[in-house]
């Protein structure tokens, strides 16, 4: 018994020592966790409980030159789920209801709803009808957030120019792409704290970083002219059944594109329903042989170099022999004896070959480049093609001969029209462009978009002489189908043989017409290209009538005076300006050679002197009195924000068309303007948030 | 009567008493912090009130244990043993299920948890068995009856299934045997062999699909113990969140009622099995150090009482109580810090839960009773 007691005493002591050492091990591990790895673990603790919900910026509006909306952004609902908030037994029911309203697959939805996740998108940018139905159902764990949806109110109008923006509001084509950096804006975000079950904490710190809405873009397009152009392109499409029709309208004096259209086209509101080929803007992306439409360029170069003059004569016997080949004229029997103007009027290949050969390769290439061929124009649209030709080193005489009448080289419609515009504007190569200015959403900042300065590439005399020949072409030459008494139109037809599979094809043709008016101070230049028409291939039959129909309506719209050729006085007609935005009114006046003089302040024109319809000599002043309110969107009543979280405040204000300017975090304790005050839509409401009282 | 009362008060171990009371106050505070954000029936202090009630009940039971001479338990041991087996058997048939196992017997307001009561009963019975011996255990054969004696209630507990508590039984046996002077080399071999067998079985299960009498969640807990990153949102979730909480506490902690892992409900079972993580996060190294120091004092006093006991039975009972509390602390704290697998054992006096709190008070009552009677016949 004593032995046992002795053993026990020793054992008790061992137990004592054992306990002490265990304690030391635990303390050691603790110190390691809390002191050595403490910083890393606290950081992880913060990381696991915050999430960011992006708040998309509103894309800026795209306007035409007179302030008409071409692309706008509207707020629509997106629906998301917080699966952890959906009771397991309710999930099938919720999935079934969602599937019904949104027309989605039930199985896929259910799988998403039972995922162990804090946030999943169910469907983004749903219709207002669907949103209303879903909101009435009050489904657990289903939430809504406002997102900006791009909307093109005019449908497919100018679709190739405008392009479109994708689901995440990113510009994907056209102007939406080239000015995306400005139009898109800066996205904001809401940082939300979640608890361990993925639930959003109603009172935890929400930080709101407001988005900066995108810049508005004012373009040089004129919606009215665009309509005319699209209507005529459509008509040509029906009549000639080509694979494509492309029309570009430019102000030759400054390179501003007034209209640009292709058929077939697409509706940017439903861009995903079309094949990607439909997005292609042939006006800048497709380089094709210009054919006879190039002939004025060759003639201008030859005049510039002095190798021909208006008294030069050429003989066309139906064909001409050049080293290595024999080139035929389109008219089998030949044109006989022609002067320079006659060569253009009759579009005589043989005469042009003679001119080209006299010009020589070096001079030809110098002028080819000076007039913008072989290089991009720098237009503010994506995917521009620069066109091709035989390299200078590889050039054979036959190539030069053929290039003289627009084969063996390619150019985009915009390139060709820019060169033609240089003839129309007295010899200046302008940079074609669409963007006029960018305006920040708050209207405080305006970024003018100025193109490259114009370069003098032809002498005024040469330009004027070629213009005269082109006018004669319309009046009594191959361009006759474009002729209208008193319209003073100039132009050149073209029938090009396409290059198919690397070879010049005698079956695939382009029919085109490049022209402008009114001579001698053209304000509108138009290029029409009908790609592979059926029935007829001649530019004069296919494209010239399109040009003529467009010009007829554009003249009426721009109030360009029309009268017997002898009666043209060069007077400018004062347009109707009252009610227009001041800048647009000034642009319109300047485009008619009149000078605006402003009085008073205000964004719009309140009155004008003299009234619309008055004829004035070019350069006269028109007095515009400014006035009026900024825009006229509806007034809204400021809702009460007090007591709401940032998330709710943003939603409530968004629905009312107001903007949130948040400071602090927590719930709203102060707002300005006060609830009930009527303000204009878009007014920022300053709201101060504080953590709820503890 | 006055004479008797004065003797009781003079001989109580006040260090032990104060330590226990400090622990209970600490517990009520931490349970409050851990449950304030999840009110029951609109009452944020639901858990606080219940824990305080149990503490008072436990205190009463402790007083009762002090008054009864513990030597009576030695005489009643066969009946206690039979009663324990009956309770553990009964719970398998009649028990109320919770969290996937049957552990509770409904008993009026309080659900009795026989496996908790069993911990104390096995100490009293095993001490009775060993105290009758005149020599310490030496041969292998002498271990067999003891193993069978403890093994039987252990099997019943495993059936519930409650792996953690059955391991407590093993821990108590180990402690009591060691104090009783059993050959320590053989004891070490036995322990090592047991652990080795478990590890080998586990290895064979993973590699060769050996069937184990364990539930899937128990196996996955062991896997996670070996590699905490294996399943961060599933089984590894408890451990990972606990580690983050403990680590985020640093020296002074984030402050009572403001630990983010706790208050934001990232911590599972934060008022019961993982209350240590809440303390670590909110009170930091200092708070946890104080807590561990309190446990050390408690255990040292228990071991001292074992050494001073009137006879072998008292020594073995006090040793068993010390072994039980030490095992709980070690496993629970080790689990929260990732050095032990997750077994779901409560932290004595700290974790929310009536059965364990009352049991621990009763155990401390036994210690005081042994201490009180250390100088021979008391009455």
Interface test with chain A among B231, B248, B281, B311, by most A beta carbons within 10 Å? B248
Nearest 5°: phi and psi at B366? -60, -45
A174 pLDDT higher than 60: yes
Neighboring chain B residues of A38 at a CB cutoff of 8 Å: 247-250
A34 and B265 within 8 Å at the Cβ level: the answer is no
On whether residue B55 sits in a domain, the answer given is yes
Neighbouring C-alpha atoms within 13 Å toward the C-beta of A50? 14
* More confident: A593 or B171: B171
Q: Are B339 and A20 inside 8 Å of each other by CB? A: no
Chain A residue with the nearest C-alpha to that of B241: A45
Helix orientation angle between B140-159 and B71-94, rounded to the nearest 10 degrees: 40
**According to the model, what pLDDT value does residue B221 have?**
63
Predicted confidence band of residue A118 (pLDDT cuts 50, 70, 90): low
Q: Is B158 within 8 Å of chain A by CB?
A: no
The whole-angstrom separation of Cα B130 and Cα B177 is 8
pLDDT score for B170: 92
Answer whether residue B379 is part of any domain: no
B4 within a domain of the structure (yes/no): no
Chain B residue whose CA is closest to A204? B264
- Smallest CA–CA distance from B312 into chain A, residue: A5
**How far is B182 from chain A, CA to nearest CA, in Å?**
9
B141 interfaces chain A, CB cutoff of 8 Å = no
Partner A contacted by B242 (CB < 8 A): no
Q: In this complex, is the C-beta atom of B96 within 8 Å of any C-beta atom belonging to chain A?
A: no
**Buried/exposed code over B314-341 (b: 16+ C-beta within 10 A; e: otherwise):** bbbbbbbbbbbbbbbbbbbbbbbbbeeb
Tell me, what's the ipTM? 0.75
Q: What are the pLDDT digits (tens) for A32-91?
A: 877 777 666 666 655 555 666 676 788 999 999 988 889 988 878 888 887 767 777 888
Determine contact: B266 vs chain A, CB below 8 A. Answer: yes
Query: CA–CA separation, B34 vs B259, rounded Å?
Result: 9
Taking contacts as CB-CB distances below 8 angstroms, the residues of chain A near B299 are: 19
Whether chain A has a CB inside 8 Å of the CB on B146: the answer is: no
CA dist A403 and A408 (Å) reads 6
Q: Domain for residue B290, yes or no?
A: yes
- Residue B280 located in a structural domain: yes
Residue whose C-alpha is closest to residue B156's, from B102, B235, B231, B108: B102
Give the pLDDT of residue A566. Answer: 43
Count the Cβ atoms, other than its own, within 10 Å of residue A181.
Answer: 12
**Cα–Cα nearest to B240, from B255, B252, B230:** B230
- B87 contact A CB<8A: no
Angstrom CA distances, B95 to A95, B81, B112, B180, B214, stand at 39, 20, 9, 35, 20
Of the residues B179, B244, B274, the best mutation for testing chain A's interface (the one with the most A CB atoms within 10 Å of its CB) is B244
Q: Which chain A residues contact residue B233 at CB under 8 A?
A: 116
Higher pLDDT, B35 or A50: B35
d(CA B187, CA B179): 11
Contact A38 B243 (CB under 8 A): no
**Distance (Å) from the C-alpha of residue A96 to the closest C-alpha of chain B?**
28
Helix (H, G, I), strand (E, B) or coil at A219: strand
Q: Is residue B215 part of a domain?
A: yes
Query: Between chains, do B247 and A196 touch, taking CB under 8 Å as contact?
Result: no
The answer to whether A12 contacts B307, with C-beta atoms less than 8 Å apart, is: yes
Who wins on pLDDT, A686 or B319?
A: B319
Q: How far is B310 from chain A (nearest CA, A)?
A: 11
User: Over the stretch A393-446, which tens digit does the pLDDT of each residue have?
Assistant: 888 888 899 999 998 899 999 999 999 999 999 999 999 999 999 998 887 888
Res A188: pLDDT: 77
**B3 found inside a domain:** no
pLDDT at B294 over 90: yes
Strand pairing report for A62-63 and A69-81: antiparallel
Residues of A with CB below 8 A from B243's CB? 33, 41
Nearest CA among B287, B290, B292 for reference residue B334: B292
Q: In which band, very low, low, confident or very high, does the pLDDT at B53 lie, cut at 50, 70 and 90? A: very high
Closest chain A residue by Cα to residue B263: A195
CA torsion sign for A149, A152, A155, A159 is negative
Catalytic residues of A: 292
Q: For a pLDDT cut of 90, what percent of chain B falls above it? A: 39
Q: How far is B175 from chain A (nearest CA, A)?
A: 8
Name the residue among B181, B261, B337 with its Cβ closest to that of A33: B337
Give me the pLDDT at residue A203, please. 41
pLDDT at B322 over 80: yes
CB contact under 8 A, B246 and A35: no
Cross-chain residue pair B285–A31, CB shorter than 8 Å: yes
Name the domain count of chain B. 1
Instruction: Output the pLDDT for position B235.
Output: 54
Contact of B374 with chain A, judged by CB distance below 8 Å, is answered with no
**Contacts B285 to A, Cβ<8 Å:** 30-31, 34-35
pLDDT at B264: 52
Cα-atom radius of gyration of chain A, to the nearest Å? Answer: 35
Measured over the CA atoms of residue A5, residue A10, residue A13 and residue A18, the dihedral's sign is negative
Determine the distance in angstroms separating the CA of B60 from the nearest CA of chain A, rounded to an integer: 29
Distance CA A391, CA A409 (A): 10
pLDDT above 80: residue A163: yes
| Residue partners of A39: CB distance under 8 A and separation at least 6 | none
Comparing C-alpha atoms, which of B343, B104, B328, B115 is closest to residue B217?
B343
Closest residue in chain B to residue A195, using alpha carbons only: B264
Residue B307 to residue A19, Cβ atoms within 8 A = no
The model's pLDDT over A545-573, given as tens digits with 9 standing for 90+, comes to 999 999 999 998 888 887 655 444 566 77
Domain that holds residue B207: 9-372
Over residues B96-113, the mean pLDDT reads 67
Mutate one of A34, A84, A195, A694 to test the B interface: name it (highest B CB count within 10 A): A34
* Lowest mean pLDDT, pick from A383-387, A628-632, B237-241: A628-632
| pLDDT recorded at residue A42 | 63
Distance CA A489, CA A467 (A): 10
Closest Cα of chain A to B73: distance in Å? 21
pLDDT for the residue numbered A629: 56
Say if B378 falls within a structural domain.
no
- pLDDT computed for residue A116 by the predictor: 63
Residue B228 has pLDDT above 60, yes or no: no
Which residue in A20, A45, A201 is closest to B244 by CB distance?
Answer: A45
- Contact state of B303 with A14 under an 8 Å Cβ cutoff: no
Q: What is the pLDDT of residue A46?
A: 56
Residues 29-58 of B with CB under 8 A from A: none
Asked if A37's CB is within 8 angstroms of B265's CB, the reply is no
The answer to whether the CB atoms of A193 and B264 lie below 8 A apart is: yes
Q: Do B292 and A35 touch (CB under 8 A)?
A: no
Nearest to B303 among A15, A34, A38 (CB): A15
Indicate whether A594 pLDDT > 90.
no
Kindly list the residues of chain A whose beta carbon comes within 8 Å of any beta carbon in chain B. 1, 3-5, 7-9, 11-16, 19-20, 22-23, 25-27, 29-31, 33-35, 37-38, 40-42, 44-46, 48-49, 116, 193-197, 201, 204
Question: What is chain B's mean pLDDT, rounded?
Answer: 83
List of long-range contacts for B207-214, beta carbons under 8 Å, 24+ apart: B213/B158, B214/B161, B214/B163
């Amino acid at each position: 018994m004593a032995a046992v007691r002795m053993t026990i005493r020793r054992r008790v002591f061992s137990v004592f020592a054992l306990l002490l050492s265990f304690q030391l091990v635990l303390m050691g591990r603790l110190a390691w966790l809390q002191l050595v790895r403490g910083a890393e673990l606290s950081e992880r603790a913060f990381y696991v409980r915050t999430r960011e919900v992006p708040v998309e910026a509103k894309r800026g509006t795209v306007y035409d030159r007179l302030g008409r909306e071409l692309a706008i952004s509207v707020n629509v609902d997106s629906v998301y789920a917080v699966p952890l908030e959906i009771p397991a037994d309710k999930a099938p029911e919720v999935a079934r209801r969602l599937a019904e309203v949104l027309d989605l697959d039930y199985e896929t939805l259910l799988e998403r709803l039972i995922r162990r996740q804090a946030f999943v998108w169910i469907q983004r940018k749903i219709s207002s009808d669907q949103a209303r139905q879903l909101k009435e159902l009050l489904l657990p764990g289903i939430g809504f957030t406002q997102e900006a949806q791009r909307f093109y109110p005019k449908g497919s109008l100018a679709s190739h120019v405008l392009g479109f923006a994708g689901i995440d509001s990113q510009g994907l084509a056209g102007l939406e792409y080239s000015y995306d950096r400005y139009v898109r804006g800066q996205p904001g975000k809401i940082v939300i704290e979640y608890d361990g079950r993925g639930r959003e904490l109603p009172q935890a710190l929400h930080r709101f970083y407001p988005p900066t809405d995108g810049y508005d873009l004012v373009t040089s397009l004129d919606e009215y002219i665009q309509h005319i152009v699209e209507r005529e392109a459509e008509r040509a499409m029906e009549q000639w059944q080509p694979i494509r029709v492309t029309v570009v309208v430019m102000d030759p004096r400054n390179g501003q594109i007034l209209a640009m259209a292709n058929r077939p086209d697409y509706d940017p509101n439903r861009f995903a329903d079309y094949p990607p080929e439909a997005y292609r803007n042939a006006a800048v992306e497709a380089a094709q042989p210009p054919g006879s439409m190039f002939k004025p360029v060759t003639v201008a170069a030859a005049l510039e170099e002095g190798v021909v003059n208006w008294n030069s004569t050429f003989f066309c016997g139906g064909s001409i022999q050049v080293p290595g080949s024999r080139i035929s004229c389109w008219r089998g029997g030949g044109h006989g004896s022609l002067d320079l103007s006659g060569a253009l009027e009759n579009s005589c290949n043989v005469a042009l070959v003679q001119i080209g050969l006299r010009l020589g390769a070096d001079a030809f290439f110098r002028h080819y480049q000076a007039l913008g061929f072989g290089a991009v124009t720098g237009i503010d649209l994506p995917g521009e093609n620069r066109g091709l030709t035989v390299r200078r080193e590889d050039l054979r005489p036959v190539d030069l001969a053929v290039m003289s009448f627009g084969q063996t080289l390619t150019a985009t419609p915009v390139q060709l029209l820019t060169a033609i515009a240089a003839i129309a504007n007295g010899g200046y190569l302008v940079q074609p462009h669409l963007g006029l200015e960018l305006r920040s959403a708050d209207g405080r900042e305006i970024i003018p978009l100025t193109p490259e300065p114009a370069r003098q590439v032809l002498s005024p005399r040469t330009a004027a002489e070629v213009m005269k020949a082109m006018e004669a072409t319309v009046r009594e030459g191959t361009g006759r189908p474009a002729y209208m008494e008193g319209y003073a139109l100039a132009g050149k037809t073209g029938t090009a043989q396409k290059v198919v599979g690397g070879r010049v094809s005698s079956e695939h043709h382009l029919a085109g017409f490049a022209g402008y008016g009114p001579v001698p101070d053209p304000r509108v230049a138009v290029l029409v290209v009908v790609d592979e028409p059926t029935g007829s291939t001649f530019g004069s039959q296919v494209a010239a009538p399109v040009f003529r129909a467009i010009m007829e309506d554009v003249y009426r719209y721009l109030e360009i005076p029309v009268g017997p050729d002898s009666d043209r006085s060069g007077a400018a007609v004062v347009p109707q300006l009252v009610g227009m935005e001041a800048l647009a009114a000034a642009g319109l006046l300047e485009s008619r050679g009149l000078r605006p003089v402003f009085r008073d302040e205000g964004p719009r024109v309140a009155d004008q002197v003299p009234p619309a319809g008055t004829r004035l000599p070019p350069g006269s002043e028109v007095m515009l009195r400014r006035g009026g309110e900024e825009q006229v969107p509806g007034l809204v009543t400021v809702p009460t924000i007090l007591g709401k979280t940032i998330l709710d405040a943003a939603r409530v204000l968004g629905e009312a068309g107001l903007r949130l300017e948040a400071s602090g975090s927590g719930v709203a304790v102060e707002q300005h303007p006060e609830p009930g005050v009527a303000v204009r839509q878009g007014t920022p409401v300053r709201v101060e948030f504080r953590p709820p009282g503890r | 009567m006055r004479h008797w009362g004065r003797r009781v008060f003079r001989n109580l171990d006040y260090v032990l008493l104060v330590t226990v009371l400090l622990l209970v106050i600490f517990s009520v505070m931490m349970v409050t912090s851990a449950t304030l954000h999840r009110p029951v029936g609109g009452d944020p202090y639901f858990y606080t009130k219940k824990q305080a009630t149990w503490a008072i009940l436990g205190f009463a039971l402790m007083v009762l244990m002090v008054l009864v001479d513990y030597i009576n338990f030695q005489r009643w041991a066969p009946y206690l043993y039979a009663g324990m087996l009956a309770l553990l058997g009964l719970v398998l048939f009649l028990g109320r299920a919770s969290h996937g196992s049957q552990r509770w017997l409904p008993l009026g307001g309080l659900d009795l948890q026989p496996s908790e009561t069993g911990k104390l009963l096995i100490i009293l019975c095993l001490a009775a068995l060993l105290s009758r011996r005149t020599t310490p255990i030496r041969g292998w054969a002498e271990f067999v009856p003891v193993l069978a004696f403890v093994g039987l209630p252990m099997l019943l507990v495993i059936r519930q299934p409650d792996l953690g508590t059955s391991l407590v039984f093993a821990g108590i046996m180990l402690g009591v045997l060691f104090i009783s002077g059993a050959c320590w080399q053989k004891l070490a071999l036995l322990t090592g062999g047991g652990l080795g067998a478990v590890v080998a079985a586990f290895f064979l299960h993973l590699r060769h699909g050996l069937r184990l009498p364990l539930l899937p969640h128990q196996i996955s807990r062991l896997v996670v113990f070996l590699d905490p990153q294996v399943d961060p949102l599933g089984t590894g979730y408890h451990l990972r969140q606990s580690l983050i909480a403990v680590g985020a506490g640093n020296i002074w902690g984030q402050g009572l009622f403001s630990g983010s892992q706790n208050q934001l409900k990232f911590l599972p079972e934060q008022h019961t099995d993982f209350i240590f993580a809440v303390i670590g996060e909110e009170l930091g190294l200092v708070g946890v150090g104080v807590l561990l120091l309190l446990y050390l004092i408690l255990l040292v006093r228990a071991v001292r009482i074992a050494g001073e006991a009137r006879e072998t039975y008292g020594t073995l009972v006090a040793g068993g109580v010390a072994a039980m509390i030490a095992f709980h602390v070690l496993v629970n704290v080790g689990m929260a810090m990732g050095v032990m697998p997750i077994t779901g054992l409560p932290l004595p006096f700290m974790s929310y839960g009536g059965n364990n709190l009352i049991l621990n008070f009763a155990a401390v009552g036994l210690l005081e009773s042994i201490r009180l009677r250390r100088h021979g016949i008391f009455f």
